[in-house]
Structure 1
Amino acid sequence: MVNNQQTQIEALLKRDRAIVLFGLVTISVLAWIYILRMAWGIRNMDMTIGMPHMHTWEAFDLVMVFVMWAVMMVAMMVPSASPIVLAFAKIYRKRRECDRLLVPTGAFLLGYLVIWTGFSFLVTLAQWGLHSAALLSPMMVSTSPILGGLLLLFAGIFQLTPLKQACLSYCRSPIGFLMSEWREGTQGAFMMGFRHGGYCVGCCWVLMLLLFVTGVMNLLWVAIIAGFVLIEKMFPFGVWVSRVAGLLLIGWGISMLLPSLS
């Protein structure tokens, strides 16, 4: 009887993993398709595709930029969040054998994405301010070497701070986070995802601002930053990669600032 029950749980775990993984992949792919389509529109200067015009922004422009950032955060962050979502689903199934899994797992992911959506709103306001000050080009790249250099310098220094390392440690230990922060129910799952999202925002928010230097819709750099975040979180050498990247960013920032200050 015990062996039969164990076999059933193992079968459920395999099924759950497949379903959750399929959902995560689907969400990521759809987000990347949206970003690719928008980048194509920018390259062809098709402003009807949802990008803001270069005149003073109207409400529609603000909404479309917010949507762009929110979808971009989904595309960049869901892949690196997949391990903890899968771990949550596995632990939930073992704790609540007969309960439906998809609703609390979806609530966990929703909580994670809600806080990144809040970040998207704030960075949209930042882009609005830079746009109003004529510090961004039509391709959404900083037109000021000083601004670009300062962003790079700040990002590099932040990579070396205890705050960055503390937030990164939570992101790198999904099981430890779940064990220490576990809450029952769908609302509890949402709050767990929200809290974990907070640590991830604390870990990665400065890296996202680098898109103002490289180009907000520069797909190569969007992919590089997303891949870097994935390496930081998932690989044993991620901590050292983070610190080396900080030093490189500091050097890049100084090299950009020196000609402007001389």
Structure 2
Amino acid sequence: MTTRDSVRQRPAVRRIPVVALVVYGIALLAWVAILRRWLPMPGGEMGMEMRMSDPGVPEAMALEGGVVGIVLYLVMWGTMMIAMMYPSSVPLFRLYDGTLREASRTARFGRLGALLGTYTLVWTLTGLVPLAVNAAVPIAPLAADRGPLLFGGVLVVLGGYQLSPYKYRCLDRCRSPFGFLLTYHRAGVVGAARMGWAFSRFCVGCCWALFVLMVVAGSMNVLWMAGIAVVLSLERTVSWGPQLARAVGAVAAVGGVAMLAVAMV
């Protein structure tokens, strides 16, 4: 049986398989870890003066903690990505699992683990970007002194990207796991890792501007995390996701311009 035939036999994956329950369970545990504050972060003078949910504070504390602080920040960031990105990626994991029905249990576990592990690793490493930005331009003092200007500028960037063609090229791949597998399916564990790399690139391309907004609003602000997670999940899973993405872009652009205008008066 060819890979194309395996992917096309979709009725076998319409039920909720174990892989979907496992992925949802991992995402739920990640949310619990965040809400219960099980994720350690290095302390310091800044941690005593400002809250972890304030803009730029987790990044500044991580840099202040050196290598240990950066590692702990990446653990925190990776956990947030699991909580926010796993649920909307379940359709791909389910469909890929359906193509492995004839593989042995060991082979199936290895390939699913490679796909999920690569996807998680890429999203975890994106946490280096806010750290690098904060090292060049500290976000916490900038947000304290020029909060409306900073937030308005990020909203304009978000609005522009949400309305850009590249956003929708990436969104189309994220919304069509069937089409993604037909194009990018590769055999074996290494092939599964390559698929995870390809899919994560499309996901990052689809969602990066929303995460810039989250960092500026406060990367440990649970309310912003939850709101952005809902938006990106709906964009990727419901029939009116592209329309929602455009609406978010238009509102963000108008709101950003208004905030910049007020800040410059």
TM-score, normalised relative to structure 1 = 0.82
| Amino acid in structure 2 at the alignment position of 1:147 | L
The one of 92, 114, 139 equivalent to 1:84 is 92
The residue number in structure 1 matching 2:241 is 238
Map 1:1-262 onto structure 2 (within 5 A). 17-38=16-37, 57-59=64-66, 60-93=68-101, 96-98=102-104, 100=106, 101-131=108-138, 134-136=141-143, 143-262=146-265
Aligned-pair CA distance for 1:13? 6.3
Aligned-pair CA distance for 1:134? 2.3
CA distance in 2, matches of 1:72, 1:88: 24
The 1:91/1:126 distance shift into structure 2, 3 A limit, reads same
| Greater displacement, 194-203 / 204-213 | 204-213
Name the SS for the 2:64 alignment partner: coil
Aligned-pair CA distance for 1:30? 1.8
Deviations 1:25-46 (A, max 9, x none): 2211221122112399989x79
Name the SS for the 1:195 alignment partner: helix
Which structure 1 segments of 5+ residues have no match? Answer: 1-8
Q: How many pairs align?
A: 244
CA distance in 2, matches of 1:201, 1:147: 22
8 A contact 2:74–2:125 mirrored in 1: no
Aligned-pair CA distance for 1:109? 0.9
The 1:133/1:13 distance shift into structure 2, 3 A limit, reads closer
Aligned-pair CA distance for 1:68? 1.8
Deviations 1:37-72 (A, max 9, x none): 2399989x798xx95776971313333222221211
TM-score, normalised relative to structure 2 = 0.81
| Amino acid in structure 2 at the alignment position of 1:118 | L
Name the SS for the 1:38 alignment partner: coil
Aligned-pair CA distance for 1:212? 3.0
8 A contact 1:105–1:189 mirrored in 2: yes
8 A contact 1:24–1:78 mirrored in 2: yes
Name the SS for the 2:35 alignment partner: helix
The residue number in structure 2 matching 1:3 is none
The residue number in structure 1 matching 2:44 is none
CA distance in 2, matches of 1:259, 1:198: 36
> Aligned-pair RMSD on alpha carbons?
3.2
